[in-house]
Amino acid sequence: MGNGGTRNTDSARTGQAPASPAQRPVLSVLEASGPTLGVALVLHGGKARSREPVEARHLSPARMIPFARHLHRAGRRHGLAVWSLRNSVRGWNGPDMSPLQDAKWALQQIGQAHPGVPVFLVGHSMGGLTAVCAADHPQVEAVVALAPWLSPETPAERVARRKVLIVHGTTDHMTSPRQSLAFARRASSDAASMQYVSLKGVGHFMLRKIRIWHTLATGFVIRAFAESTGAPVRPARAYAQLLPEGSVHVTH
């Protein structure tokens, strides 16, 4: 690990970046069953501004635990490890971009543990913005942004040559589906692929149609992982029904 970090050999591991004791990002790792051929990094949401430390009991990180487990069940036997990042503080905090700094640290830890393996980012809300902004890391090959917090200022060039899936509910009043679609169109010419799924009548917190959210996120990562590594794994049949190969904009 990096300076001040910790590491152990259990299937769920934690690492901490140097910071004040109350404001450290934490990594939880679900290991692959055998050699690690790829890593999915799960990123949670937060607030526009807050220096309050993130705790495990907070809903934003807790909301992503089922996504991490769903991914792990689908990919662990084929070499996919799933790392979940708990941010140091709850806010994006303007130019500090606090979660992005935490994500860069997490990617550094992945690179040290598994140099050269493909990385797949899965983020919700502010975590979706973080995933987009961290996508230019050389190991990142694909991004899943769930109800992401995007705007005209979000840098489209970060997803150049990456596979991208954006999923957004039509009744989301916390982040803008209109801005997500605008970003998808703006970034599509540079991305390796860009797919957008619109979920009718679904809000921000992924409480409705949760099975669809899980199937899309896991299926997209599994397909990208198999294409990158040659691992003999395929997405669930339901994934192809929700997002046919080659589709660009799908509504459910």
Question: Is 18 inside any structural domain?
Answer: no
Question: Is 79 inside any structural domain?
Answer: yes
Question: Is 102 inside any structural domain?
Answer: yes
Q: For residue 22, what pLDDT is reported? A: 62
How many domains is the chain built from? 1
Question: Is 72 inside any structural domain?
Answer: yes
Integer Cα distance of 84 and 26 in angstroms: 8
Question: Is 3 inside any structural domain?
Answer: no
Question: Is 14 inside any structural domain?
Answer: no
Question: Is 92 inside any structural domain?
Answer: yes
Q: What is the CATH number of the domain that holds 201?
A: 3.40.50.1820
Q: For residue 23, what pLDDT is reported? A: 83
Calculate ∠ Cα 140-149-112, nearest 5°.
25
- Residue 235 one-letter amino acid: P
Instruction: List the domain range (segments joined by +) for residue 62.
Output: 26-251
Reading the block at residue 219, the tokens are: 């299926």
Return the CA Rg of the chain: 17
Q: What is the pLDDT along the chain (252 residues), one digit of tens a residue?
A: 222 233 333 334 444 444 555 689 999 999 999 999 999 999 999 999 999 999 999 999 999 999 999 999 999 999 999 999 999 999 999 999 999 999 999 999 999 999 999 999 999 999 999 999 999 999 999 999 999 999 999 999 999 999 999 999 999 999 999 999 999 999 999 999 999 999 999 999 999 999 999 999 999 999 999 999 999 999 999 999 999 988 999 999
Question: Is 145 inside any structural domain?
Answer: yes
The DSSP symbol for 64 reads: T
Q: Where are the beta strands (DSSP E) in 66-187?
A: 80-86, 119-124, 140-146, 163-169
Asked if residue 38 lies in contact with residue 119, where contact means CB atoms within 8 angstroms, the answer is: yes
